Amino acid sequence: SLAGKTAIVTGSTSGIGLAYAKALAAEGASVMINGFGKPDEIEAERRALAEASGAKAAYSDADMTKPDEIAAMVARCTEEMGSPDIAIANAGIQHVAKIEDFPIEKWDAIIAINLSSAWHLMRAVVPGMKEKGWGRIICTASAHSLVASPGKSAYVAAKHGIAGLVKTVALETAEQGVTVNAISPGYVWTPLVENQIPDTMKARGLTREQVMNDVLLAAQPTKQFVQPEEVAGLAVYLCGDAAAGITGANLSMDGGWTAQ
Ligand code: NAD
């Protein structure tokens, strides 16, 4: 049980992040969610999380491209629910284009949201975790933290960066009861994947079915999308005492993708 623990999950109004928030709340943790979306839908999710956990739940609209907003999010969480015991850097975006056509502002946004925001989050939560002598930091990396695909120069660079960041902060916190790990899913069925299908169709001149079967699931030997709840289950395991010895690891959940 994670009762009495406080968790903060970035990019948790949708997809994998929302699944993490639900799984942590089901274990009794207070959860601060974050991300964009319709205010009434976010408020409904927040209320459902509080109901599920029997603890507090809060929402921060912090923009992960803005370091000061990330620090303020952690400060508010600390004030309202206690300093985070669990921090999951999950917010992420994708853009698919060949490097010569890749918009510079998309590169900047992907590096900011998918990589730098994790660094800013860790910088803000590590002192409180060290003080308590307990902490769990998890980043949603990707199979693209280990291998590449054409058209994803910014995403692959950011995710490889996450793999290095996790190793470094794991070493810096290893003697203080804090673990820092990455989870690297293959294709998970979320809006992020669904929304990149049209761009991939354009970039490679393929139909929707060809992108689904010959591009996305071609990489995944199981020929199945990973489900957000499966990723969240691994995160809950990493938060438990049985996972105290797992730190600096990059755990794949990719249907065999990176075994090839
Ligand atoms: P998603 O699009 O469903 O959710 C992304 C979340 O990030 C949303 O809550 C969104 O509001 C939030 N977000 C986007 N920009 C933000 C910003 N500037 N500030 C704050 N929040 C912001 O995507 P998902 O598929 O659930 O992806 C979550 C993470 O998992 C990402 O880091 C992604 O790279 C990673 N991932 C996804 C897959 C996959 O197949 N879906 C595979 C491997 C890794």
Is 0.95 exceeded by the ipTM? yes
Residue-wise pLDDT for 43-81, tens only, equals 999 999 999 999 999 999 999 999 999 999 999 999 999
- At 197, the amino acid letter reads I
**DSSP string over 134-170:** -EEEEEE--GGGTS--TT-HHHHHHHHHHHHHHHHHH
Q: What is the overall mean pLDDT for the chain?
A: 97
- What the chain holds in terms of domains, given with CATH numbers, is 6-187+226-253 (3.40.50.720)
Mean pLDDT of 97-108: 98
- Closest atom of ligand 1 to 16 CA is 26
CA distances from 176 to 58, 125, 128, 130, 137 (A): 27, 13, 11, 5, 13
Cβ of residue 83 lying under 6 Å from some atom of ligand 1: no
Mutate to test the pocket of ligand 1, among 10, 13, 14, 194 (most ligand atoms within 8 A of CB): 14
> What share of the chain has pLDDT > 90, as a percent?
92
Query: Which pLDDT belongs to residue 195?
Result: 87
Secondary structure (3-state) at 222:
coil
Residue-wise pLDDT for 164-220, tens only, equals 999 999 999 999 999 999 999 999 999 878 888 998 899 899 999 899 888 889 989
Q: Nearest 10 degrees: CA dihedral of 72, 76, 79, 84? A: -90
- Closest atom of ligand 1 to 141 CA is 44
The pTM of the full predicted model, rounded to 2 decimals, is: 0.96
Tell me the two tokens of residue 212: 């689904």
